[in-house]
Structure formats: structure tokens, C-alpha cells
Structure 1
């Protein structure tokens, strides 16, 4: 890609924001009938993928700030999708665990979300490279 090609492209910030909103809206159509918001799905999906996490770690992985994450986890506890307990190794940490009900919900919903993601990525010739580039940006 020549330097002039980048200047002629839409700004990265606006493009990523529009793409993120499109992905969020599409995923919400799948998770909303299950009684979840997009951010609640991120918490469930993260716990399913990574196992139990401390609240701080969960916040880092989902990019959800402390007070908002606390409210989300509170709602997920109320619906018995997750549960919390004090970390026995460090009593200052609160660990969040996916419950059996949460695991079952994840197994039911994850294929639907994956289908939405595949549909969104379907038109990209190099979807893997795009996802790797975005992950690299997120880790910086």
C-alpha cells in the first residue's frame, strides 16, 4: 500500500468505531433473546474461554471499567449465570466463576454468535490478518 493510499482512506478512529458498533448491534440481536446485553455476553464469553478470573483481570480482558463491570456481574449473579467468591490465596481479590447455568447458556449461544461473526467477516479476503492486526493494536 502506498503512502497516498492511507491518506485517501477513512480515518482509523471513525472506521473502527463504526465497525465496533456494527458488530455490537449484530451480536446483540443474538444475545438479547437470551436476556443478555452485549457487555454481559463479553463477560460470559471471557469466563468460558479463560476460566475464573479476578474482577480486575475480567475488566482488563473485556475493557469494561470497574463500576460498570460490578453492575454487570451483579446482574449475572442475580440470574445465576456467574458466581463470586473471595480468592482463598489473596482475600483482597474477588474471583468470578461461570456457573453451570452460565456454561449451558454459553454452549447454546456461542455458535450463534460465531455465525454472526463469520457473516460479518465473510466478505474479507484476509479476515485472519485483519483480526491479528486488531488484536495487536488492542495489546499495545
Structure 2
């Protein structure tokens, strides 16, 4: 099972590459962008938690997105210890292209909507098993 999971994960990431390169995004940057499109602004901690990335992983990723003009990082006025991340207008301008990637991947994997939903549920259960 481990090899099959590893192989499938790598294949899916490779499948994304030709769709993300023209957008100037890596796969992890794509995931950050999706989260911010759905629910931004988010604190670095919340964003990292949703993507299962620690601070040492997500901070450099966010710095690169900020340098590319895709996100802003600002101190939370309510709590100066927190940094809020949001998409810039240039980052938001990618929305239709970013959102279209899922359909392209679904097609490349030859998955139906039901098959994609089943796969997502299975992977979520593996990533976050129920306590008990």
C-alpha cells in the first residue's frame, strides 16, 4: 500500500505541473492559493494547519508568493503576534485558471465526479483518521 500511495501522490503532483507552470505556481503555492481563494485572509497558523504544513515549510513558501506579488503578509491589528495572509489583486486574477486545474486533473485521471469524491474521502480518512 505504501508504494502505491507514494506513486499515486507523485503522479498527481506531476500531472499538475503543466497546468501550474504557466500560472507561475508550484504545487504547494497552488494549494495556498486555493485556500486563500476559498477563505482568505487567513493567519499563517490557520493556513499551515489546513495544509498540514509547519511554520518552517509555509513561511518560505509565503515569502516567495509575496515576492511574486501574489499575496500580502500583514500583522493582525487585533493581535500583533499573528500574521495574516491574503491574495493581492494579481493573486485573485488567477482564480478562474487556478480553479480550472481540478477539472483538468480529473479528466487526466479519468475520474468521474463520484470517483473523485470517493477518492477525496478515502485520502482525507487516511490523512486525518477519526480519534478512538
TM-score (norm 2): 0.86
1:71 corresponds to which residue? 60
1:115 corresponds to which residue? 104
- Aligned length, in residue pairs: 129
2:32 corresponds to which residue? 43
Aligned residues: CA RMSD: 1.9
Pick from 32, 46, 69 the counterpart of residue 21 of structure 2.
32
4+ residue stretches of structure 1 with deviation over 6 A? none
More strand by share: 2
Q: Decide whether aligned partners of structure 1 residues 100 and 125 sit closer, same or farther in structure 2, where only a CA change above 3 A counts.
A: closer
Deviation at 1:125, TM superposition (A): 6.8
Counterpart check, 1:104 vs 2:71? no
Pick from 52, 55, 60 the counterpart of residue 49 of structure 2.
60
Does the CA-based 8 Å contact 1:30-1:113 persist in structure 2? Answer: no
2: distance between equivalents of 1:77 and 1:124?
34
The runs of 5 or more residues in structure 2 that have no matched partner are none
**Larger Rg belongs to:** 1
The runs of 5 or more residues in structure 1 that have no matched partner are 1-10
CA deviations on 1:35-88 (whole Å, 9 max, x unpaired) are 111111111111112221111111111222312211111111111110011112
1: distance between equivalents of 2:110 and 2:39?
24
Paired residue secondary structure (2:93): helix
1:20 corresponds to which residue? 9
Does the CA-based 8 Å contact 1:54-1:96 persist in structure 2? Answer: yes
Deviation at 1:117, TM superposition (A): 2.9
TM-score (norm 1): 0.81
